[in-house]
Structures are given as structure tokens and as C-alpha cells.
Amino acid sequence: MNHVEPIRLAQVSAGYGQRVVLDGLDLGLQQGTITAIVGPNGSGKSTVIRAMARLLPTRSGVVLLDGQDIRSFGPRGIARLVSVLPQSPSSPPGLTVRELVELGRFPHTGLFGRLGVEGVLAVESALTLTGLADFAQRPLDELSGGERQRAWVALALAQGASTLLLDEPTTFLDVRHQFEVLDLVASLCTSRDMTVVMVLHDLVHAANYADRVVVVDDGRIVADGAPAEVLTVELMQTVFGVAARIFTDAESGRMFCLPIGTGS
Amino acid sequence: MRSARSFAALTLLAAVAAVVLFVLHLGLGTVWIPPDRVVLALLDRPTDPTDLTIVRELRLPRAILGLLVGCMLGLSGALLQVVMRNRLAEPGLTGVSTGGIFAAVLFLAGTWGLPSPGQLLPFVVLVGALAGGALVLFASSFRGRIDPLRLILTAVIVNAVLGSLTSIVMLNSQQALGGILSWLIGSLNGRVWDDVWLALPWAAAGIPAGLLAARAANLLQLDDESGRALGLPLQPARVALFGLAAVLAAGAVSVSGAIAFVGLMAPNAARVIAGADARRVLPLAALIGCVLLLAADLVAQSLSIRPPIPSSSARVGLPVGAVLAVFGAPLLITLIRRSIR
């Protein structure tokens, strides 16, 4: 393999207080692909993302960014390579979309540097790509849930990092807005050759938007591969504890995973 | 309300108001000096030589202090509202007001055998104020972490304790501590150039530093995870902004006492006008703080009272802190009713 992996977790263990959440995890990402991380509640899905951006320090093991130990980067150095969209981000009431997106340039400007031409261009292109150019002057709290989520994606894009980590980006969104956000992420992956990792609850989204599905259970990876290989009736039973039907809709070509009960 | 043009217009309006109030403030006193003569005296071309003495020697220090203290309190409140994630936060929540006053009471009650304790008082207040701020910061940090809610609760508790201790010392004191009342409510009466020199270094360092903290403030206004993901070290940023707010408030308290409301009202007014971006809120809060304090001090100067002290029949100006509380409260309530529906 010639490409250096944008992020690699090698034997990573991490946790909160006494609790060990990730236990010797190995995971490498491939440039320009979408990886979905799925798993039951409390399995450690979000912790994987937090470890990747050093939002949570590792107990043991190494995280590599572009082949280099993440500990050799400063906080802003990491933020120039990796953008994170947390699960429930919040902004102060009255903050406009443009003001929010400009904050994405912090990794480049620091506390006192100027936005500069490069920064202005990055902000403009992030607004355009997310379809928010007309909303730039609007306060975030006046937007719909879907538009607001797009604004946070725009913030992450303005950062100019080549890896984007999203923690349950579709939670709290209605079905149409879920598709909007996922389509946006998929198009970014292609147009900007970005590497994307999404923590998802909805396995149908994982099946249809990800190149690769990683199933995490109890801090370990229990399955990893193309959606069709990974998402099986057996896996649904053993990992999620539900009986499910898995089929592909002939008309749309989309794969469905339909849980039908706890199966006992 | 939030367009760039109306922001610029309102900022300009506030700046003009500050200048007008400053000139009026210099004109007002036992002898009224019209604005044109005030300006000429300031420019060193007085029409009447006594104007020069009255304006530049007697009245200028108080007006400058009004400007500085208003600015410091407005900015301090705005920074603190960011650090505490709460629009009810005001400079008193740094612990500096109660700290400064406790130190003053302790000092006056003891007198410590010094020939003229009055002259040392502002320094004592300053040291007490900074110690109060440090106490709140120290008591609220847990395993090196500062949490906004814990910071607020700690400040409220520290303020309550220092306030009680102040009362205890005052009750036990053999001496009349009447002078302390004007520190408790905040006043600019009878301030001189020495007071300006005491406050100036804190203003000169604190105001530019506070304004430069806008970008850190903006990131702190996001949720913790977003701020960290963008590369801001949250804990050092919180400590730095709290420290700036405390230093600004301590500088103000050391010359004027605990003036309430400006530090609460100015940032809230700034947010109604300018939205949430700290690059606008911080300078505007400072400017509105100046305007409010100068306006209130104008009123305070023109309304004098005769304190019930048997030996004296002199009339003294109202303390500006009292004026602010009386006139400020309805203004603030109106503002909040309009902005938070």
C-alpha cells in the first residue's frame, strides 16, 4: 500500500475514570473513503472518534495521523488535519452562520492571526458547498434542524482538514434532512477526496452511504468490511440482540436492514 | 437589528454619546460651565483661567474615572458571561467586590496605627479584590479543571462568606464605619488624579487584552467538545479570561467601590444590539459601560443628599452605584423583555 493512512489506531485502549471503553483497538482508515462505525449503546463507538482526534487521551497504544504519532502535534496541528462534528454541538443564541463558520479557521489563525484571503475563500467555499451562502447572515437559532447541521458541517469544512469525523450526524433530524446531510457528506468525500468516519445508529444509512462498516461491541471491533458482508442476520442477533431481515430493494438498489423484534 | 450597517451606526452613536456625556460631566458641578468653554479648557485655551483649574484639576479625574470604570466593568461582565456561559454573570461574580470590601473593612476596623489610613485604602481594596478573585478561581478548580457552573456556584458561596465576614467585622468594630457604605454601593464622589493613576495601569493593560481575547471567547461560547476539536485548550483559556475579568473588575473596585449593574447591563445590551460574536460584543459592552456610568454619574452629581451626620450640614452627591441600581433595573428589565421572548 502506497498511501499513508490518514488515521491509524494501533492497540489503542482508552476510557473514562475507572471504566475502560476501548480495549486494544486496531483500525486504519483509507484516504477518500467513508467508514461507518456502528454498535449498540455504550459499545465505545463515539470513543473511537474521540480517540482519533485526541479529544480523549489514550491509556495505551498509539494513534497515528498521516503516519506520525498524534502526540507530536499540538491541539491546532491536529485540528488542521482532522475535523470533528460532535454529537450535540451548541452555539450561543444570535450567532450567525458566517460567524460560526469563520471559527473553523482557528486552527490556522490562532488567537490573534488574521483570517486572510485563504481564510475568506475557505469560509466562502464551505458556505457554498453546504448550500448555505444565502443563509450566511442568519442566526443559527432561526434555522431548521437540517440547515443548522449543515452549518456545523460547513464549520468543519472551513477547517480545511482532509479527515472528517462525525458523531451521529443524523440524530434529531427528520428523514428528509437525514438524507440531505448524508448526501452532502458523500459528495464531499468524492469532490474533496475527504476521508470520512461517521458514527451511525441507523444501520440502513450505514449500509447505503459507507464504503466500509466497522462494528464495535464492548470496546472491540467484532466485524469490519463492506456493508453487505458485515451486516448479516447473525450479526444482528449476536451484537444487537435482535432478529432482523436484510434485503435489497430491487427498485432503488438500496440495502435494508429491518429489525423485527428482540427475537427471543 | 443585526446587520453590519446598523451595528456600525449604533456603535458610532454610543461613541458620540460617550463624548457628549464626558463634556457635560466636566461642565456639571457647583458652577456650571457650558460645553464650549469645557472644550476650550481641555484644549488649553480657556476663556476664563478659573475654567482651567475647575475642569482640568477638579473635574477631569472624576470624568476619566467614569469612562475607565464603565469600560472596565462592561468588558469584565462580557468576558465573565462567556466564561460562565451565563447571561446573569456580572463582575461581582469574580469575588473581587466582596474581597475588596472585606479587606477595606478589616483595614479600617484595625487602623493598624497608621497616620492616614484613608490614603492607603484604595491599595488595600485592590489587594483584597485580587485575592478575592484568586480565591474564587482556586476554590472552583477541581483536578485542574474549571467548569462554568461550578465557577458560578463557588463565586456565589465565596461572596456570601466574605459578605458575612464583612458584616461581622463591622458589627464588632468600635469605630464608625460610615465611610465604608460608599464603597459598598460604589461612588465616584471626590475622586482625584491619584485615583486615576491607580486605575490606569489596570485599564491600560486589561482593556486591550480583554478585547484581544475575542476569538478565544468565541470558541468558549461553543460546546466544550467543539472548542477542543478546533484546537483551543479550554482550561487555560477559561483561566485567562476569568483572570482578565477579575483584573478589570479589581481595577474598577479599587477606585470606585462595588458598582453594580453596569457589568450586567452593558454586555446584555451589547448582545441585543450586536448578536453573539465576541468581536462585536466585547468592544460594544465596554463602550455601553462608559455611556451608562457617565450618564448615571451625571444624575448622581446633580441629585445631592444631606447625610444625617450631626456635625455637618454639607450636602453630598448621591453615590453613582445607587443611581445605577434605581434607574438601571427598569432599563435592564425592558431590555430582557424585548430580547428573550
B336 touches chain A (CB under 8 A): no
The residue segments making up the domain with residue B120 are 4-339
Q: Taking CB atoms and an 8 Å limit, are A111 and B216 in contact across chains? A: yes
The per-residue pLDDT of chain A, averaged, comes to 92
Distance CA B80, CA B76 (A): 6
A104 touches chain B (CB under 8 A): yes
Residues of A in contact with B222 (CB under 8 A): 89-92, 103
Q: Which of residues 157-186 of A touch B (CB under 8 A)?
A: 159
Q: Looking at the predicted structure, is the pLDDT value of residue B141 above 80?
A: yes
Residues of A in contact with B221 (CB under 8 A): 91-92, 95
Residues B83/B151, Cβ–Cβ less than 8 Å: yes
The count of structural domains within chain B is 1
Residue B262 has what pLDDT? 92
Distance CA B319, CA B290 (A): 16
pLDDT per residue as tens digits for the range B244-256 = 999 999 999 999 9
Residue B1 has what pLDDT? 42
Q: Is A24 exposed, middle or buried (0-12, 13-18, 19+ CB in 10 A)?
A: middle
E strand residue ranges, chain B: 304-305, 316-317
Q: Would you tell me how many other CB atoms lie within 10 Å of the CB of residue A101?
A: 26
Query: How confident is residue A78, by pLDDT bands cut at 50, 70 and 90?
Result: very high
Q: Which residues contact A244 (CB under 8 A, 6 or more apart)?
A: A233, A236, A237, A257, A258, A259, A260
Query: How confident is residue B305, by pLDDT bands cut at 50, 70 and 90?
Result: low
Residue A135 distance to chain B (closest CA, Å) = 13
Residue keyed to cell 481594596: B125
Predicted complex ipTM exceeds 0.95: no
**Domains within chain A, CATH numbers bracketed:** 7-231 (3.40.50.300), 232-264 (no CATH)
CATH, residue B194: 1.10.3470.10
Residue B333 distance to chain A (closest CA, Å) = 19
Specify which residues A34 forms β-bridges with.
A196
Q: Taking CB atoms and an 8 Å limit, are A86 and B221 in contact across chains? A: no
Which of B212, B213, B230 lies nearest to residue A106, judging by beta carbons?
B230
B335 touches chain A (CB under 8 A): no
Q: Taking CB atoms and an 8 Å limit, are B275 and A103 in contact across chains? A: no
pLDDT per residue as tens digits for the range A61-76 = 999 999 999 999 999 9
pLDDT per residue as tens digits for the range A130-139 = 999 999 999 9
pLDDT per residue as tens digits for the range B155-168 = 999 999 999 999 88
Q: Taking CB atoms and an 8 Å limit, are B228 and A75 in contact across chains? A: yes
CA nearest to B79, candidates B186, B191, B234, B237: B237
Specify which residues A216 forms β-bridges with.
A221
The per-residue pLDDT of chain B, averaged, comes to 87
Q: Mean pLDDT throughout A85-90?
A: 93
Q: How open is the CA angle B335-B340-B341, to the nearest 5 degrees? A: 120
A78 touches chain B (CB under 8 A): yes
Q: Is B156 exposed, middle or buried (0-12, 13-18, 19+ CB in 10 A)?
A: middle
